[in-house]
Structure 1
Amino acid sequence: MTRSQWALAAVVAVVMAVAVCGGVALARHAGRSSAVPDACPRHWEDEGIGGWVPAGPDVDGADESLVPGSPVRALICAYPGVNTDPGGERLGGSRTLTDQAAAMARDLAYLPVTTGEVEHVCTLAGGPMTNYLVRFAYADGSALWVGSAEEVNSCVTTTNGEARTSSYVGTALTAAYRGGTWRMPRPDDPCRGGGDRRGQEDAMVPEEPDWVLVCLDGGEKWPPRREHGAAAARRLAAVLDDLDTVPSGHGCQGGGPEADDREYRLVFGYAEGPPAGVRVAYGCTPGVDNGMLQADVGDDVRRLMARLTP
């Protein structure tokens, strides 16, 4: 073989090696994507209410957000049943959202999440229940599932297979499935709002709020409240964030008949996204709870709250 023939053979070998390596990379990517089914499973293959997906996510950041990035399509699969005998529900129907997918993904991405277990304190009313799977598809061909449910006790785990939350989205999912429009419900009175915001798994009040609404929760339909601007909101947030926290057990121990039993709902607002909610109960230990974290009230909280309460 001549020198030119050897050179040509070497070039061909390199090209073939590159092609083979490229083929392996594409095959790996194709295999990873095919692990996320592109159609609704025929059955809900779990015994839980929400909290299940048929395949792990194929999207970066899925351990930090329920729906990272910007999906272009959302396939909603519905599995109706009853909460007294959950598991194995048959597919009842599906709906595909396109122009609503980005808003749906944004709202779910704002929810606080954990990769650990989600604890619930649930009422036990029996009634109808619908498990939901939502397949979010992205322009690059990747996808992820989110599993959740609508249930009379609002006691649901929502997950993408890695991140999970106890924040309830069942009502919004049912409305989107039935009517084709996604919208997170908002309360008539902000003092009654859920106040679940991304970051509350790490801090009692995440980021820098623009205002805070301090509501005295005494059982009234429209409880007394005072609204304060950014300066007061951020001072209060800083004091709450300085507390020693533990994962929320969604409950507290009463302080006895002589205890101060005042209870407040704090709603911290932001320029974008949902509010962050914190409950402060003086007669309980631990008395500060944001749904993900709990802490004791502390003297600094009491002193600042005394100037801000209605």
Structure 2
Amino acid sequence: MIALSLAAAGVCTAAVVLSGSGSESPSVPSTCPQRWGGNDFGDWVPAAADIDGVEESLVPGSPVETLICAYPADSAHPGGERLTGSRTLTDQTAAMARDLAYLPVTTAKINRPCTAMGGQIANYLIRFAYPDGRALWVGSAEEVNQCVRTTNGTVGSNAYTGSAITAAYKDGIWRSVPPDDPCWSPGDRKGQDKLMVPGRPGRLTVCRDATYTRPPYRKRHGRDVARALAETLNSLNTVPSQNLCQGIGGAHERGIRLIFDYPEGPAAVVTISMDCIPAINNGLLQANLDDRVRDQILRLAPS
């Protein structure tokens, strides 16, 4: 699940099951389409919006109302799912838009390994309405493998939002449960397509390989250490991430996850695969690990 900074607010919701279509504008439909038009889980909207900021954020600006449209899917035969219902949110819209706006976006299709388990799947379209009458669609999905691309029709994000969207659709409340262990934070933050560690982090947690559970397997550091390491990582030459690496023969060092926390919004996570090239990856960028950076990271890691 994504770790989102969610505000608990009062809720004004209305749940309905739709059986007919309403009027549509040529650009952004005002009601839920009767069928899911994509062939994947998520990664489809009926129309891209002409709204300032859609190139940099899934949900720019300050929408005032949200319409969630649900399309339960068959994992074996994706595409063409029928609309089964919708829910309208008002008081939750600001929090939902803010948290989606924090997610990293790109126009590129980012490769990543995905498992192929079967399970609960549902496509969602989310219509964000603005005070001036304009609107924007976001397409996503809940999928058991959490291997979904969320898009506004212009840019997309591999950050997983499915569980939070399902909760908002079913309960009318936008929320997400943070991981019990900070080392499991998914770490998806806006700007990671341009910098390994964007912005000004306020704290750093260094975690040993997640399969290593004997204490101590994590160690926390303050703002100055976090920003110094972020500066080092941001000085490296990077390439767009393929989320793949080539193993180094004979190397058996445990991996490290760097969790950079911020005063607001989600963490940014960087993984270090010590026995792989390229070793450094934030999900959108990769870089090689030289001895200087390796030594700096190992000094901060738990023993």
- Could you tell me the TM-score, scaled by structure 1's length? 0.87
The one-letter code matched in structure 2 to 1:253 is Q
RMSD: 1.5
Partner of 1:246: 239
1:221–1:174 CA distance, 2 compared to 1 (3 A): farther
- Residue pair 1:149, 1:156 contacting (<8 A) in 2 also: yes
User: Could you say what secondary structure the match of 1:106 adopts?
Assistant: helix
- Could you tell me the TM-score, scaled by structure 2's length? 0.89
1:218–1:187 CA distance, 2 compared to 1 (3 A): closer
Judging by fraction of residues, say which structure has more helix.
1
Partner of 1:226: 219
Unaligned runs of 5+ in 1: 1-32
1:208 Cα shift?
A: 1.3
1:117 Cα shift?
A: 1.9
Rounded to whole Å, the distance in 2 between the matches of 1:146 and 1:112 is 14
Partner of 1:10: none
Partner of 1:28: none
Unaligned runs of 5+ in 2: 1-24
Identity of aligned residues (%): 56
Q: Match for 2:87 among 82, 92, 95?
A: 95
Of residues 172-181 and 123-132 in structure 1, the stretch that sits farther from structure 2 once superposed is: 123-132
Residues 1:125 and 2:113 aligned together: no
Rounded to whole Å, the distance in 2 between the matches of 1:280 and 1:167 is 19
Partner of 1:83: 75
Rounded to whole Å, the distance in 1 between the matches of 2:27 and 2:129 is 13
Instruction: Give deviations 1:174-197, integer Å, cap 9, x for gaps.
Output: 010000000133101010110100
After TM superposition, list the pairs within 5 Å mapping 1:139-154 onto structure 2.
Answer: 139-154=131-146
Rounded to whole Å, the distance in 2 between the matches of 1:188 and 1:221 is 14
Larger RCO (CA under 8 A, 6+ residues apart)? 2
User: Could you say what secondary structure the match of 2:51 adopts?
Assistant: coil
Instruction: Give deviations 1:208-262, integer Å, cap 9, x for gaps.
Output: 11110001115035761111111111111011111111111112111112x1422
Runs of 4+ in 1 over 6 A off after TM superposition: none
Partner of 2:9: none
1:57–1:222 CA distance, 2 compared to 1 (3 A): farther
The one-letter code matched in structure 1 to 2:182 is P
Instruction: Give deviations 1:69-119, integer Å, cap 9, x for gaps.
Output: 110001000000122110000001100010000100000000000012232
1:47–1:218 CA distance, 2 compared to 1 (3 A): closer
- Residue pair 1:44, 1:90 contacting (<8 A) in 2 also: yes
Rounded to whole Å, the distance in 1 between the matches of 2:245 and 2:177 is 28
